[in-house]
Amino acid sequence: MSPAWSGRHDATVTRRNNSLRGVDVAVIGGGAVGVCAAWELARGGASVALLERGPELAWGCSAGNAGIVGPSHVLPLAGPAAVRDGLRWMTRPDSPFYVRPSPAVVPWLGRFAAASAPARVRRSREVLRALAIRSAGLHAGLASAGLDTGYRQAGLLNVFSRESALAAARRDALADERDGIAHEVLTAEDVHVRAPTFAADPAGALFSPGEAHCDPHRFVAAVGSEARAAGVEIRTGIEVLELRKSGGRVDSLWTTGGDIPIGELVIAAGVWTSRFGSQLGVELPIEAGKGYHVDVPSGDDPELPIWLHEDRVVITPLDGRVRFAGRGLRPCTPDGLPVIGRPPAIENATLAAGHGMWGLQLAPVTAELVARVIVGDDSGSDLSPLRADRFQIRDRSPIGSAPQQS
């Protein structure tokens, strides 16, 4: 249930000269996070306008996501192995993790290395795991309520080609079991029984029966449809050019469609969120990590998603096609945690970005948290690990404790 709207802004959505006028909340970004936040706020009683710069919803990386919405695979981007592999991959355009070279990437890499210290990785993992478990339940709840997202809880087959990689995964699975996430160890023969069309001869696999997947584009379209039905004014092809501020507040948005007075602002614009950082008085080191996806027509398809760990490829069966791991311009923060919260200098703006490759998975729980921030409900979750200003202080303070599940 969404927190009730506080009523601090009494404007309603109307049209004048093809522009939006007077809304309680404007949401920038029409991907998975943006549409979920808009719907959540509208259900709480707010008048909401969602603005997407592209020609349609899910125009950015949301539509190209691999579609896995279970909790077991949501892990911090940073880590000792990631530093080793990442530094090698970041300069290779054909690698699983390529970042466009620029001088701005240098401090990002420094923060990425600092966030890879074992203690910080453990804390980041706790934060992401708590968010992922909560969000997985919300995805299941939306499907049970009849939302047509293509949701299926068929499990996830984690395949390893090397014995050493399988052994490491089995050790990591112990931590998953403490979080209530079960895995079943499979031999190569077991893999072929679970996935008869899988042609390779792996070292083995871990089967995660509680994992689920959905069709990313269907998810965004379905939530967008519900948001419209709840009164959200969705405008595509509208780019926000300037945040017009006074007295520590954003009063209106200057857009390609005109000026939009607002009461509250939510920025969920993925990799484009960082462009608003200077206007909000906060540093947002969100870099675009290269992603990819290839869809092929259905044929002799697997019945469940398969994750080829060493190759960093996810194979997901979707309606009428099979997707080979895709994630557009992934909005990556150095510590691998999303930014959810208020920038200290602006009292009526909320950031919801930097989810990396986990935007689809974490969209429902992010929407809950955004709604709570806006109405001033600080119960249920400690958002300090996700605070918007954490990069202002050169990563010297601890990440903090994991958000509590509500």
pLDDT tens digits, one per residue of 48-74 = 999 999 999 988 776 778 899 999 888
Same domain as 238, residue 285: yes
**pLDDT band at 11, cuts 50/70/90?**
very low
Dist CA 280 CA 301 (whole Å): 47
Same domain, 181 and 248: no
Q: Nearest 5°: phi and psi at 7?
A: 75, 20
Residues 375 and 259 in one domain: yes
Residues 162 and 67 in one domain: no
Q: What is the CA radius of gyration of the chain?
A: 21
Dist CA 197 CA 221 (whole Å):
31
Least confident of 118-122, 380-384, 395-399: 395-399
For β-strands 287-289 and 330-332, DSSP reports them as antiparallel
CB 156 within 8 A of CB 307: yes
> What's the half-sphere exposure (Cβ side, CA atoms, 13 Å) at 230?
24
Give the mean pLDDT of 338-365. 95
Q: Which residue has the higher pLDDT, 117 or 153?
A: 153
Q: What is the mean pLDDT of the chain?
A: 85
| Residue at 406 is within a domain | no
Q: What does the alpha-carbon distance between residue 185 and residue 212 come to, in Å, rounded to a whole number? A: 18
Would the pLDDT of 16 be above 90? no
Q: Are residues 268 and 336 in the same domain?
A: yes
- pLDDT reading at 111 higher than 50: yes
Residue 12 has pLDDT above 60, yes or no: no
Domain that holds residue 310: 156-209+292-325
Tell me: do 26 and 169 sit in the same domain.
no
Dig out the tokens for 130 from the structure: 């708590």
Here the CATH number for the domain that contains residue 241 is: 3.50.50.60
Number of domain units in the chain: 2
**Do both 89 and 51 map to the same domain?**
yes
Write the pLDDT tens digit of every residue in 330-344.
788 888 899 999 999
The b-or-e profile of 50-63 (16+ CB within 10 A means b, else e) is bbbbeeebbbbbbb
Considering the domain architecture, whether residues 344 and 200 belong to the same structural domain is answered as: no
Q: Which residue type is seen at 192?
A: H
Query: What is the reported pLDDT for 160?
Result: 95
- Pair (97, 205) in one structural domain: no
Question: Using one digit for the tens of pLDDT, what is the confidence trace for 201-219?
Answer: 899 999 999 999 999 999 9
- How confident is residue 311, by pLDDT bands cut at 50, 70 and 90? confident
Q: Is residue 29 part of a domain?
A: yes
Average pLDDT over residues 245-267: 96
pTM above 0.85, yes or no: yes
State the greatest distance between any 2 C-alpha atoms of the chain, in Å, as a whole number. Answer: 66
In 3-state terms the chain splits into helix, strand, coil percentages (rounded to 5) of 35, 25, 45
